[in-house]
Structures are given as C-alpha cells and as structure tokens.
Structure 1
Amino acid sequence: MSGYDDDSYFQPPNTNNPNATPYCPNGDPFITFAGRQWWINYHWTQAQGTYVWEPFKSIFDPTLVEHGPDGIRLQIQPNQDPSQAWRTSEVVLMDKLGYGKYLVTARADGGSFSDLDPHAIFGAFLYQYSEAPPSNGPNIHREIDFLEVLRSGGGNAQFTLQPYDSVVPPPVHFFQMPPGTEVITIINNWYVDPGFKIIADYSCYAGDWSLENPPPEEKLIAKWYPALDPSFAPLIPDHTDSSCERLHLNLWLMHGEAPGGPQSVTVTRFEFQPA
C-alpha cells in the first residue's frame, strides 16, 4: 500500500491472483449476490495462502462460503486435520457505496441467533483495509459495526464503533437477542444531517424485512444513536471521494476457541439506498 485511502488491496493482481484462485470453489474468488460482486478470498495472501492467522485466530476459508437460492451461507467447520484450528468464512462487497441506508437480512440456520455458539460471532460491518487520513479522526479504518452477535458484555449482541478502547465508557451498545429469533433484519443509516453532522444510526429487527416492506416498530429488538453522545460522535467516520470502506459479512471464532459444533448463518438479503 502506498498511503492513506489506498485501495490497491482490492485491485488486480491481488483479486485475481492465479496462486489464490485454486483455493476457491470453481476457481472463482467472487460470487454474485443481490446483483453485486462479493470477494470470498479477502484473507488470502501470497506469504500465507488462504489460511491466514489473524489476531483473533480465525482461519478464513473461501470454500465454506456457499451461494445458493437462499443467499450466502457462512459457516464455521472443523478442520480436516483435528489438530488444526476450525475454519471460518467472510465475504466482502466489492462496491464502495458510501453514505446511505444499508439493510441486511440473515437467518440462523441452527434455529435462533440466541443459540449461536458462545465462541461464534456473526458480524456485519463497514471497514476500510487501508488507513484513512488523520483528519478522519481516531476511527482510522472507517469501521461501523452494524451488528455483532456474540456472548460478551451485557447481552448476546452489540452495536459498536471503533476504536473500542478509545473512550470510557466504550462506544458499544449491548442488547439481548430474544430466544427463538431465527431471522433478523439489520438496518444502518449512515448520512450527513442538515447541520453537517455525520450520523450512523443502528437498528435490529426480528423477521424478514426489506426497504420496500420496512419492519414495524413492534419487531424492533434494539436501536442505537451514537451521534447523541458527545464522546461517541467523533468516532463516526466520514465518507469522501477517496475513501474505500466496504461492507463485510462474516462468521468467525472469538480467540479461535473451538465451538461445540459446526455453525451456519445464511444472509438472505442485502439492499442499499443512497443517502
């Protein structure tokens, strides 16, 4: 990478590296979902191949991303070698969409998001691979965590801004995913208000909803307006002509701890409405 807002990681030859494509189903590092391209081999590197040890010790494997009529199925599966760490999955949207309303609908294939294994995390978030300029503020990767379903803090799910440890109390809203919640719809509205204040409001609903058929308030599970807190507002990133944040969807393991068994979440819908 050459500097701030450097988007070279998402350009050839990295995205179509002939050494990487054999790791992908049918030799294709991309899938098409919701009319858009998603990169399934984001964690592949020339030095380490497709099984990259990140700080959180998850091994992302593109072969665990299944694309079918229901959508994108993300999985956590044991390694063929039982002495090795479990495998996880992630997809990254190639489009850089910027300000607008992001909607993601997902299904917990095991029955309920409240029953996701304590070590498993389902995430939907914006993230920029390279660093943003210092003028962007402390959130150098323009990260907006639309939702993380995990067992931590004061619930089994959370909305978050980054850096998590930059302020006290941390920029997170914990909540409880109710028992029996098989399908959820996440909506994150990222925009600039008339007073030129950057807003990112979070919401999570029970059920299968769309922008054309929006969720009713009685299906609301949780909502968060971090811009109302003076200590959180500076962590909401901006979007510029050169910024390169993208939507990520993943299913991984906290600290690489093995779950009680395979896990699966299917993303059934993605919609975007520009601000």
Structure 2
Amino acid sequence: MSNLGPMGGPQRIPTPTPPSGEAIGRYATYSEAQRAVDFLSDEHFPVQNVTIVGNGLQMVERVTGRLTYGRAAGAGAVSGAWFGLLIGLMLSVFGSGGTGALLTGLLIGAGFGMLFGVISYALTGGRRDFTSSSQIVASEYTVLCLPQMASQAREVLSRLPNGLGRGTGPATPGQAPWGAPDPTARPWGPPSSTPGASPGAHLPPPPPGSAPAHQPPPPSFEKPHEEAAAPPMDLSGPTYAQKVEEARRERRAAEARARQGAEGADPARDGQDRDDRGGAAG
C-alpha cells in the first residue's frame, strides 16, 4: 500500500525517534501539562522546542451505562438519521425533491439505522450488555525542552501558579539528558559467560533490610554414577559333549550295578549254572 502526498507523489513518513531534552516540569494530568505549554506560548517562548511525554501508559475503558434493546435502537436511529439527512440534503439541492426529499431521507435513514442497531445487538447474544469509551492515559506527563533553553523555560513557568507541577530541578553535571542511553545500565539480553562467575553474579544486589531472593541451585556438571558392571560369565565348566559322555557313563554304571544285584539275589541258579558248565567240560 503506497502513501501518496497532496500532489500525488510519495509521502515521506518521519522515522519515529525517542524524545530527548531536559525535563522542565512534571504533571499528574495532561491538562496541567497542556496548560504549562500554553502559558509558554502566550509568553512568546519558542514552543517548537518543547515536547510532552506521557510515562506509564495505560488503556482505560470507562463504562458509561447498561445496553438494552431500546438504547441500541436509539443509537442506531441517531446514526442512521445523520446519514439519511445527508442523502436527503443532496437530493433536495441537486434534484427536484425540495423539503419533502430532505424529510424522507431523514426518516428512512433513522428507520434503517434503528433496524441495524437492534440486529447488531441481538447478534452479540448478551455478551456485552454495556456501553463504554476507551482512551490511553499516562500516570505522569513530563514536559521536555532543549538543554540550552531549559533554564529560560523554567523561569517563564515559575511565573505561573504551580507552573512547574511536581517540580524538577536543573540537570546535575554529568547527568545524562532525557532519552540518552545510561552508561551504567547493562545491555539487554543474557549476561556474558565469564569463566568462574557465579550464576547470580549479573543480578543487582538486594536493597538493605530485604530478604534475599531465592536463587535456583547452580547446575551440576558431575558425571552420573556409572552402573555396576555385571560379573563376567564363568566359562570354565564342562562342555555339552562332556556332560553327555558323563551321563552315558552314569547310565552304564547303573545298569552294571543292577545286573550284579540280580545275580546275587539267585544263588541256586548260580550253582546250577556252574554244575552245567562243569559237566559240559567233562
């Protein structure tokens, strides 16, 4: 979107810059600051060197009353009547309607405005049943002036009752003017990592008598405890083949013991077998 000047050319928008100068008065309300600047203008002081700065800006919404269908219809009728009056005036001047066209446009505009007001209020569903007005206010207004003309401005304001407001003295030697960077202030952003500096070294010291602020413990850089290593596996036992061979030997020994037990339990048969073997030999 292009910004065009009065002659159709590009319009130069000034770059926003912070205010600068020396404070010559501080006031609680804007009307007091406006009164001081107006007095400087009446005393033929070059007010183009003066700036009004609002500190501590706040958005204030003041509730003016309860909103109902009647008030919504009335507000819509008034706004519509103004539009209808404009249309009727144009018809009466540039057309042949005369006074009748003016009155007709007024009534039609009021009717349509009332209808639109009621419909708009019904669409809100009762979520905003009040009327209000919003504005930006400041907790304090400071009047600034160029340093070379600040003493003259204070002299002129001193002739006005309560002209200096809450009062402000001349700048002390070595004090930075309004809007100048403070050399003692730390730059914005995280503190630089200085070897050996504690985590809270960049914080300002607490005021005397106040309780020390809770600070989180410094991060620990110790290595976590290593888990206990599992004991090594014992691989010195017999192998699978040796276990099979040992089981086979035990089975054979058991069979041999069983046969020996069977032979000792039948001695008559053993004697007969010996006789048979003797006769066969003879």
For the superposition of Structure 1 and Structure 2, which TM-score range results when normalised by the shorter chain? under 0.3
Q: Which has the higher strand share?
A: 1
- The structure number with the bigger radius of gyration is 2
TM-score, normalised via structure 1 length: 0.19
TM-score, normalised via structure 2 length: 0.19
